């Protein structure tokens, strides 16, 4: 397995560069751990456009969907699309060299596709064959490709240079692969979108209220989450080796007394800091 990872590691770094370099150059986005969002002003524009589309179209449709369909139907729809996603997840697990998990994920698809009536019923989860949700962006990350600049795509939403690879694959590989005809194809896509949005109705309401700046909150959570997903796919040693991003800051005064003391000390020497 380590041989395989070494092999994959080399190939992938080259591949990742080939994929991300032209895009990075085109956008002249140069992301670092300290400024992961060089395209912020463009991103903010797209973000608010996406928000508008969501408020006026997607969210109302999703709410309507919840009203007119009974819960078991919605669960069935979610399971069906989830099962298709699991196929791609399995492929990515193998690409990451996680053979055991890849096998478990494949078994999951097999169980749900047959006993679970083509994926409508999720029998695998109660059997402790859990879902993995691996995508190509994560695989590239495990192989060593950096995230690159944060990008918000119109309609597609938060992504990064690296994670944009997901759109290519998810367009060619999805439920619609199984369906003939453009009309059915589009219906399936639409249903998938609405079903997913419906599942998160209460969660997004909450986000609206807690985030002081929804754009920054979304971005930071997205980037952190993607990194943590990638770290799960690697050994701790590999993670440590690549750990360049600074740990979150907690080195501030802890108790009121300490804080007061530190504040006094700081005010004495604060001139250079303030200038900065």
Partner 1 sequence: MSHSRRFFVRVVSSALVAVSALGATQAGAQTAPAQATAPVPAQTPEAFIQSITNEVMATVKSDKAIQSGDLRKITAVVDAKIMPNVNFVRMTAAAVGPAWRRATPDQRLRLQNEFKTLLVHTYAGAASQVKDQVIEYLPSRARATDTDVVVRTVVKGKGDPIQLNYRLEKAGNAWKVYDVNVLGAWLVQTHQSSFAQEINASGIDGLISKLAERNRQLVAKNAAN
Does residue number 177 form part of the binding site for partner 1 (CB under 8 A)?
no
Q: What is the C-alpha to C-alpha distance for residues 146 and 149, in angstroms, rounded to an integer? A: 9
Q: In degrees rounded to 5, what are phi and psi of residue 113? A: -75, -30
Q: Please name the residue ranges forming H helices in the chain.
A: 2-27, 40-53, 59-68, 71-95, 99-114, 136-142, 165-172, 182-199, 201-210, 214-232, 236-242, 256-268, 270-275
Does residue number 204 form part of the binding site for partner 1 (CB under 8 A)?
yes
Question: Shortest distance, CB of residue 168 to partner 1, whole angstroms?
Answer: 10
Does residue number 262 form part of the binding site for partner 1 (CB under 8 A)?
yes
Shorter beta-carbon distance to partner 1: residue 14 or 190: 190
The torsion region of residue 155 among left (phi > 0), alpha (psi -120 to 50) and beta comes to: left
What tokens does 257 get? 């007394």
Does residue number 158 form part of the binding site for partner 1 (CB under 8 A)?
yes
160 sits in which H/E element: strand 157-160
Does residue number 221 form part of the binding site for partner 1 (CB under 8 A)?
yes
Q: What is the C-alpha to C-alpha distance for residues 167 and 173, in angstroms, rounded to an integer? A: 10
Does residue number 127 form part of the binding site for partner 1 (CB under 8 A)?
no
Does residue number 99 form part of the binding site for partner 1 (CB under 8 A)?
no
Does residue number 63 form part of the binding site for partner 1 (CB under 8 A)?
no
Q: Where in 66-95 is the site for partner 1 (CB under 8 A)?
A: 78
Does residue number 225 form part of the binding site for partner 1 (CB under 8 A)?
yes
Q: What is the C-alpha to C-alpha distance for residues 139 and 145, in angstroms, rounded to an integer? A: 9
Tell which one of 23, 107, 121, 156 touches partner 1 (CB under 8 A).
Answer: 156
Q: Do residues 151 and 39 lie in contact, with contact meaning Cβ atoms separated by under 8 Å?
A: yes
Question: Shortest distance, CB of residue 74 to partner 1, whole angstroms?
Answer: 11
Q: What is the C-alpha to C-alpha distance for residues 224 and 20, in angstroms, rounded to an integer? A: 20
Does residue number 200 form part of the binding site for partner 1 (CB under 8 A)?
yes
Which listed range, 19-27, 97-105, 139-147, 180-188, lies at the site for partner 1 (CB under 8 A)?
A: 180-188
Does residue number 207 form part of the binding site for partner 1 (CB under 8 A)?
yes
Shorter beta-carbon distance to partner 1: residue 2 or 209: 209
């Amino acid at each position: 397995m380590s041989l395989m990872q070494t092999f994959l590691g080399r190939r992938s770094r080259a591949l990742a560069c080939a994929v991300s370099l032209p895009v990075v150059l085109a956008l002249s986005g140069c992301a670092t751990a300290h400024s992961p969002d060089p395209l912020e002003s463009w991103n903010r524009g797209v973000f608010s456009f996406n928000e508008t589309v969501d408020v006026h179209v997607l969210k109302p449709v999703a709410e309507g969907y919840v009203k007119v369909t009974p819960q078991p139907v919605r669960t069935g729809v979610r399971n069906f699309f989830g099962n298709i996603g699991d196929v791609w997840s399995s492929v990515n697990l193998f690409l990451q060299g996680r053979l055991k998990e890849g096998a478990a994920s494949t078994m999951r698809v097999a169980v749900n596709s047959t006993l679970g009536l083509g994926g409508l019923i999720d029998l695998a989860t109660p059997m402790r064959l859990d879902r993995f949700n691996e995508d190509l962006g994560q695989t590239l990350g495990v192989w060593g490709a950096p995230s690159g600049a944060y990008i918000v795509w119109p309609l597609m939403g938060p992504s990064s240079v690296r994670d944009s690879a997901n759109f290519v694959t998810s367009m060619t590989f999805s439920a619609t692969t199984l369906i003939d005809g453009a009309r059915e194809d589009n219906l399936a896509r639409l249903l998938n979108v609405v079903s997913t949005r419906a599942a998160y109705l209460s969660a997004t309401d909450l986000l609206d209220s807690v985030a002081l700046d929804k754009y920054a909150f979304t971005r930071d959570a997205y980037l952190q989450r993607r990194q943590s997903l990638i770290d799960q796919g690697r050994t701790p040693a590999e993670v440590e080796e690549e750990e360049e991003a600074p740990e979150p800051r907690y080195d501030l005064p802890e108790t009121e007394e300490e804080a007061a003391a530190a504040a006094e000390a700081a005010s004495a020497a604060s001139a250079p800091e303030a200038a900065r």
